[in-house]
Structure 1
Amino acid sequence: MRPNPPLAAVLTLCASALVAGTTLFAKMLGTDTLGAPLHPLQVSQGRFLFALMAFSTAALVLRPRFTRPAWSTHVLRVLCGWGGVSFMFAAAAFIPLADATAISFLNPVVGMLLAVPFLGEKVGRVRISAAVIALVGAMVLLRPTPQAFQPAALLALGAALCLGAEVVVIKRLSGREGAFQILLINNFIGACIASLAALAVWQMPTPSQWAALAGLGLLMASAQTCFLQAIRRADASFVAPFWYAALIFAALYDFLLFAEVPDAVSALGALIIVSGAGLLAWREARLRPSAASPSGSAPTPQAAPPLSPPAPPQSQSPEPRR
């Protein structure tokens, strides 16, 4: 496919808006906005189930060719992605969307650190500096003082840890299987795991909640599709900065629907995390050319922010979350 950077930028902005929209739906479902709050595990089930319906329908129409999948690797990847999605949706119900999104952007840093023991990668001074900067930003957002500490922010931190582990597993799938196959298998396994986990807490959604669950799944599927199309038209290092627009969209949605305005601490913490992740993305772009490779939870970058809910491009394997 011929390079088309302007279109890639537009597609990435669309993907970031859609992923931020999934956290908005999760917040509506996790609060009493549409009825009795649904458990995050049930919200996660809806995300995977309706996304699976979308990709299955596309598979029936497109009839893509499949190769033999690495099932064990897929299962491990989905467990990490499902955990990240569930934590993220739980966090969205309690803290501002912009804060939850910013903290989840730590996932490329976590992935980088985990790649040292599990993939044998070496970490230089620039990468260590980027990790320290991002972690400082996370501490700012966590507000670690008795008066301002947000316990729910730890849920977003858990999402970042799970999605960071997912980045490591995604690297094992990179280049081995087709993009559509990875997305379809990811959502199939995710729907099975999420459905089993939601059995103990499942309750009948209201009509509005059913619509929101369907919208959440379709938004995630659309975001993954937009991001994969973007990464086919430009390098990951080019589209990565546009993914940070998810912070802007999350803050905008929060303001329009819940009248929440990010305070100075939130803005400072988000800026620090983006600076750290941006430094990591710049370093990865200089080290080697990027190559696209899908994942199912949400676009996730190795050197830039994260899809398994919010999730941006990876220097070598993109992903829109989880």
Structure 2
Amino acid sequence: MTQNPPFAALLVLSASAFVAGTTLLAKMLGTDVLGPALHPLQISQGRFVFALSSFALAALVLRPSFTRPAWAVHTGRVVLGWGGISFLFAAAAFIPLADATAISFLNPVVGMLLAIPFLGEKVGPWRIAAALIAVTGAMILLRPTPEAFQPAALLAVGAALCLGCELVVIKRLTGREGAFQILLVNNLIGTGIASVAALAVWQMPTPGQWAALAGIGVLMASAQTCFVQALRRADASFVSPFWYATLIFAALYDAALFGVVPDRVSLFGGAVIVAGAGLLAWREARRKPAPTLAGVTPSAAIPSGSAPMPPAAPPPSRPRR
């Protein structure tokens, strides 16, 4: 497919808006906005059930071809993704959306660090610099002081660790299966795991809660679709930093519905994150567009929760940046 970085950036920004919408709905479900609060495990189940329904309907229409899935790899990936998204939904009920999202977005750093010993990857200086700038912005949003610390923030840390480990497992799927198949199998296994986990805490949702659960699934399916389409049009190293716009969308949603207005620190942190994405976009724009993705295929880069792929290492035939 022809490379189109501007359109790829727009797709990732759309995906980030959708993902921020899922955390907003999860916060509404985890509080008493739409009725008696639902348990995070039930919210996670709803995310998988309705996302699976979306992809199953698409499969009936598109009739894609399938190969034999790597069930063990898929299962390991889904367990980590399910754990990560469940932790994130739990954190969203107790702390501001921007804070919960910011902490969970440390997962690309976790994935990058784990990829060095487990996958033998090397990461160039430009990608490291862009990631560090973005993470710095996330830390500014966190306000990591003893006075501002909340125990619920540890739930978001758990999300970051799970989703970071998931990124390493995702790499095992590189080149093995088609993108649509990975999405369908991911949500199929995730629905089974999440449904079993939610049995002990499941309660009948209100009509508004049913709508919100369906919204989470559809928004997540839309985000995954936008993300993989973006990866078909630009390097993963180019599109990944734009995913941090989720923090900005989360802050805007929180302000609109819960009255949590971002202060100067939040605005500065968001600006730093955008600067990190802008640095990489400028650097990549000075290079000749690559015919393929840098070190990762679209089918390998689809997050099962809300995690983006970390900036990928360039292939050996290309110079390190």
TM-score range, shorter chain: 0.7 to 0.9
Aligned length: 305
Give the fraction of aligned pairs with identical amino acids, expressed as a percent. Answer: 74
Residue 271 of structure 1 deviates from its aligned partner by 5.4
Give runs of aligned pairs for residues 144-223 of structure 1, distance below 5 A.
144-223=144-223
Residue 203 of structure 2 aligns with an amino acid whose one-letter code is Q
* Shift in CA distance, 282/237, structure 1 to aligned 2, threshold 3 Å: farther
* Shift in CA distance, 185/234, structure 1 to aligned 2, threshold 3 Å: same
**2: distance between equivalents of 1:277 and 1:79?**
30
Match of 1:173, SS state, is: coil
1:78 corresponding residue in structure 2: 78
1:103 corresponding residue in structure 2: 103
What's the Cα RMSD here? 2.9
Q: Is the 8 A contact 2:84 2:158 kept in 1?
A: yes
Residue 282 of structure 1 deviates from its aligned partner by 9.0
Candidates 286, 300, 305, aligned match of 1:297: 305
Task: Please say if 1:88 is aligned against 2:88.
Answer: yes
Match of 1:109, SS state, is: helix
Unpaired runs of 5+ residues, structure 2, are: 315-321
**1: distance between equivalents of 2:9 and 2:141?**
28
**1: distance between equivalents of 2:130 and 2:5?**
26
Task: Please say if 1:7 is aligned against 2:7.
Answer: yes
Unpaired runs of 5+ residues, structure 1, are: 304-313, 317-322
2:319 corresponding residue in structure 1: none
Match of 1:10, SS state, is: helix
Give per-residue Cα distances to partners, 1:24-70, cap 9 Å, x unaligned.
Answer: 11011011110011111100000001000111111122111111111
**1: distance between equivalents of 2:238 and 2:226?**
15
Residue 111 of structure 1 deviates from its aligned partner by 0.4
Residue 3 of structure 1 deviates from its aligned partner by 2.9
1:67 corresponding residue in structure 2: 67
Q: Is the 8 A contact 2:110 2:160 kept in 1?
A: yes
Q: Is the 8 A contact 1:41 1:197 kept in 2?
A: yes
Residue 88 of structure 1 aligns with an amino acid whose one-letter code is L
Residue 160 of structure 2 aligns with an amino acid whose one-letter code is A
**1: distance between equivalents of 2:281 and 2:156?**
21
Of 257-266 and 237-246, deviating more is 237-246
What is the TM-score with the length of structure 1 in the denominator? 0.84
Of 190-199 and 139-148, deviating more is 139-148
1:258 corresponding residue in structure 2: 258
Q: Is the 8 A contact 2:77 2:170 kept in 1?
A: yes
What is the TM-score with the length of structure 2 in the denominator? 0.84
2:23 corresponding residue in structure 1: 23
**2: distance between equivalents of 1:282 and 1:167?**
26
Of 241-250 and 80-89, deviating more is 241-250
Give runs of aligned pairs for residues 136-147 of structure 1, distance below 5 A.
140-147=140-147
Of structures 1 and 2, the one with the larger relative CO (CA 8 A, separation 6+) is 2
Task: Please say if 1:118 is aligned against 2:126.
Answer: no
Give per-residue Cα distances to partners, 1:47-105, cap 9 Å, x unaligned.
Answer: 00100011111112211111111111101000110011001111111111112222222
Give per-residue Cα distances to partners, 1:168-200, cap 9 Å, x unaligned.
Answer: 000111111110011101001111111111111
* Shift in CA distance, 145/250, structure 1 to aligned 2, threshold 3 Å: closer
**1: distance between equivalents of 2:84 and 2:282?**
25
